[in-house]
C-alpha cells in the first residue's frame, strides 16, 4: 500500500488489532499524537475510542471528536487515499448503528456500510447471513445476554433492524453472500466491483465470511474501487484482509522474550463465562497467586457517604499484598469477583465498571516499575490500564503471541510488554497457556 494511503480503524475497545502487527494504537487524538500516528510507516492506524464502555450519548460525542480530528489531520499528513473501519465486537456487542451513523455524518457520505463481523481466529463466521460462534448461532450464547448490548437474533438483517430500533428494516439490508465472494476470488472480482459501484444511498450490506479467502477477495475489490468510499463496521479479520500484511516479523517465542526479568502481573476484569473458566484454570498453577476484588463490597462502598478514604485504605492493603507476592517471585493474579452484579440502572452498571477498571489500573500502574510483563484480560480493563493507569498516548503493536492475543509495548522508562486479552477469546486453557509462554515455561513456537 502506498505511503499516501492509510487504513484508519476507530476501535471500540483496545483489542481489535488482534489480527495485525507493527502499527501504532493511539489512546489520544490530539493534533500532535494523531500527526505522529499518520506519519508511521504502517498502512494501519488504530484509534482506541473505548466507546463500548460509554453510554450512547458519550460514545457518539467521542466518535464525533475523533472524526473531526481526522478531518483536520488527514490533509496535513498528505494522506490521499484512506479507508475507514469502525471496529466492533465479533459477538455483536456495541453501539451499532450509532457509531457508523456519526462517522457517516462527519466524514461521509459513504456509498454503503459493509457489516463484516467474521473473526476467523476466534471461531466467528457468517454463513447465509447468520453469524455463528464455533458453529452455534451467536444469539444462543452468553454474549447475546449482555446486560448492556444484548440481542435476540443472529440473522444479520434482523439484528440490524433490532439494533436500529426498526429505523433500518431487515428487508432494507442488502447481503453479500459467500457464493458471490467465492466467485470474486475465482474471477478477479469484476462482477463484485460492478455491484459495489452500483451502491448508492448508504445501505447496510451484511457480508458473509466463512474463510479468509472470501474477505481477501472483497478487500482487493474495495482497494481497487477507490475513490468509491465504503465504510466498514467489522470485527478484526476484515482489517487484516484490507491491509494484506506480510507475516509478523516477531513470532510467538520472540514476542515472549520481550518480557523483562521480573515477575509479571495478570489482570482479569472480564466476567463472561469463558473468562471465569480461564481464570479458574490459571489459578491451578502453583506460581500464580489470586487476589480477589469483592465487587459487591466495592459497590456498596462506592455508593456510600465516604468512598474515597475507605477505598484508598483498601487499595493500600491490596498493593501491599501484591508486592508481597511479587517479592516471592510469584505471579499475582488480580481479578474481580465472578458474575455480573445486579445494578439498579444501566448508568450505575457503567459507573461500577469504570470504578473497578480504574482501581485495577491504579494498582497495576503502581507496580509497573517492578514488573516483567502484564497480561490484561477484558477490553475496558485494558483500555483503562493503558490510557489512565499508565497514562500513555500510544502503544506500539508488535504482533500476536497466540491467535487474537496482541502484545503491545508500553513506552515507559523501561518498555513494558502488555498482552491484551479479549474477554471472549480462546478456550478454557488459553490464559494459562499465555502465562506459561510469557514465563518461559513453554515455547511459543
From CA 184, how far away is CA 222, in angstroms rounded? 12
- What average pLDDT does the segment 398-422 reach? 94
Cell triple for residue 229? 468510499
List, in order, residues 6 or more apart from 289 with CB less than 8 Å away.
325, 330, 331, 332, 333
Share of the chain above pLDDT 90, in %: 82
5-243: which CATH number, 3.40.50.10840, 3.40.50.170, 3.40.50.11540, 1.10.1040.10?
3.40.50.10840
* Per-residue model confidence as pLDDT tens digits over 121-156: 999 999 999 999 999 999 999 999 988 899 999 999
> What does the pLDDT read at residue 445?
52
> Does residue 444 have a pLDDT over 60?
no
> What does the pLDDT read at residue 28?
97
> What does the pLDDT read at residue 272?
83
**DSSP code per residue over 153-202:** --BHHHHHHHHTTTSS-GGG-EEE-HHHHHHHHHH-SHHHHHHHHT--S-
367 or 4, which is more confident: 367
188 or 72, which is more confident: 72
* Per-residue model confidence as pLDDT tens digits over 245-302: 999 999 988 999 999 999 999 999 988 889 999 999 999 999 999 999 999 888 888 8
What is the rounded radius of gyration, in angstroms, for the C-alpha atoms of the chain?
A: 21
**Of 120, 337, 383, 106, nearest in space to 231 by CA:** 106
Q: Enter the CATH code of domain 252-438.
A: 3.40.980.20
> What does the pLDDT read at residue 2?
59
**DSSP code per residue over 252-294:** HHHHHTTS-SS--EEEE---SHHHHHHHHHHTTSTTEEEEEE-
413 with 6: CB under 8 angstroms? no
From CA 375, how far away is CA 136, in angstroms rounded? 29
List, in order, residues 6 or more apart from 336 with CB less than 8 Å away.
268, 269, 271, 292, 293, 295, 356, 360
> Does residue 199 have a pLDDT over 90?
yes
**Of 372, 370, 360, nearest in space to 336 by CA:** 360
> What does the pLDDT read at residue 11?
97
From CA 83, how far away is CA 85, in angstroms rounded? 7
Share of the chain above pLDDT 70, in %: 99
* Per-domain boundaries in the chain: 5-243, 252-438
95 with 58: CB under 8 angstroms? no
Half-sphere exposure of residue 58: CA atoms within 13 angstroms, side-chain side: 10
> What does the pLDDT read at residue 243?
97
From CA 349, how far away is CA 385, in angstroms rounded? 19
220 with 189: CB under 8 angstroms? yes
CA separation (Å) from 381 to 268, 291, 342, 407, 425?
8, 16, 19, 15, 15
* Residue 3 pLDDT grade (very low, low, confident, very high; cuts 50, 70, 90): low
Range in 39-48, 130-139, 186-195 with the lowest mean pLDDT: 186-195
> Does residue 72 have a pLDDT over 90?
yes
> Does residue 307 have a pLDDT over 60?
yes
From CA 379, how far away is CA 235, in angstroms rounded? 14
Instruction: Please state, rounded to an integer, the average pLDDT across all residues of the chain.
Output: 94
- What average pLDDT does the segment 326-354 reach? 87
Range in 22-36, 61-75, 349-363, 396-410 with the lowest mean pLDDT: 349-363
* Residue 27 pLDDT grade (very low, low, confident, very high; cuts 50, 70, 90): very high
> Does residue 1 have a pLDDT over 90?
no
* Residue 304 pLDDT grade (very low, low, confident, very high; cuts 50, 70, 90): confident
Amino acid at each position: 500500500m502506498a505511503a499516501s494511503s492509510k487504513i484508519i480503524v476507530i476501535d471500540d475497545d483496545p483489542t481489535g488489532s488482534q489480527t495485525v502487527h507493527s502499527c501504532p494504537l493511539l489512546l489520544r487524538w490530539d493534533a500532535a499524537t494523531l500527526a505522529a500516528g499518520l506519519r508511521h510507516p504502517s498502512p494501519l492506524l488504530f484509534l482506541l475510542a473505548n466507546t463500548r464502555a460509554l453510554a450512547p450519548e458519550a460514545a457518539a460525542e467521542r466518535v464525533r471528536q475523533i472524526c473531526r480530528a481526522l478531518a483536520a489531520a488527514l490533509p496535513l499528513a498528505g494522506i490521499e487515499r484512506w479507508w475507514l473501519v469502525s471496529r466492533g465486537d465479533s459477538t455483536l456487542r456495541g453501539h451499532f448503528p450509532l457509531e457508523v451513523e456519526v462517522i457517516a455524518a462527519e466524514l461521509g457520505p459513504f456509498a454503503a456500510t459493509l457489516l463484516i463481523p467474521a473473526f476467523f481466529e476466534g471461531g466467528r463466521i457468517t454463513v447465509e447471513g447468520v453469524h455463528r460462534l464455533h458453529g452455534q448461532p451467536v444469539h444462543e450464547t452468553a454474549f447475546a445476554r449482555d446486560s448492556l448490548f444484548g440481542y435476540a437474533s443472529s440473522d444479520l438483517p434482523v439484528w440490524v433492524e433490532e439494533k436500529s430500533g426498526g429505523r433500518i428494516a431487515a428487508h432494507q439490508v442488502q447481503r453479500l453472500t459467500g457464493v458471490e465472494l467465492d466467485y470474486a476470488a475465482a474471477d478477479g472480482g469484476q462482477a463484485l466491483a460492478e455491484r459495489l459501484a452500483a451502491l448508492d444511498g448508504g445501505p447496510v450490506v451484511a457480508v458473509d465470511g466463512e474463510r479468509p479467502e472470501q474477505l481477501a477477495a472483497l478487500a482487493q475489490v474495495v482497494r481497487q474501487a477507490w475513490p468509491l468510499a465504503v465504510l466498514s463496521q467489522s470485527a478484526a479479520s476484515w482489517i487484516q484482509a484490507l491491509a494484506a500484511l506480510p507475516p509478523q516479523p516477531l513470532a510467538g517465542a520472540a514476542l515472549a522474550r520481550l518480557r523483562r526479568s521480573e515477575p509479571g502481573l495478570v489482570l482479569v476484569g472480564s466476567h463472561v463465562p469463558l473468562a471465569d473458566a480461564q481464570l479458574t484454570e490459571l489459578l491451578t498453577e502453583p506460581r500464580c497467586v489470586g487476589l480477589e476484588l469483592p465487587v459487591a463490597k466495592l459497590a456498596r462502598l462506592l455508593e456510600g457517604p465516604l468512598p474515597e478514604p475507605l477505598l484508598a485504605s483498601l487499595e493500600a492493603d491490596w498493593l501491599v499484598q501484591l508486592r508481597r507476592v511479587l517479592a516471592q517471585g510469584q505471579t499475582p493474579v488480580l481479578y474481580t469477583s465472578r458474575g455480573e452484579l445486579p445494578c439498579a440502572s444501566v448508568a450505575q452498571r457503567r459507573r461500577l465498571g469504570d470504578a473497578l477498571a480504574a482501581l485495577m489500573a491504579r494498582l497495576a500502574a503502581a507496580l509497573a516499575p517492578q514488573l516483567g510483563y502484564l497480561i490484561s484480560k477484558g477490553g475496558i480493563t485494558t483500555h483503562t490500564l493503558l490510557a489512565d493507569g499508565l497514562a500513555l498516548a500510544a502503544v506500539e503493536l508488535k504482533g500476536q503471541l497466540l491467535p487474537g492475543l496482541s502484545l503491545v509495548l508500553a513506552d515507559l522508562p523501561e518498555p513494558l510488554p502488555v498482552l491484551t486479552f479479549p474477554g471472549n477469546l480462546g478456550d478454557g486453557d488459553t490464559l494459562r497457556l499465555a502465562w506459561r509462554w510469557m514465563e518461559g515455561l513453554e515455547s511459543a513456537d
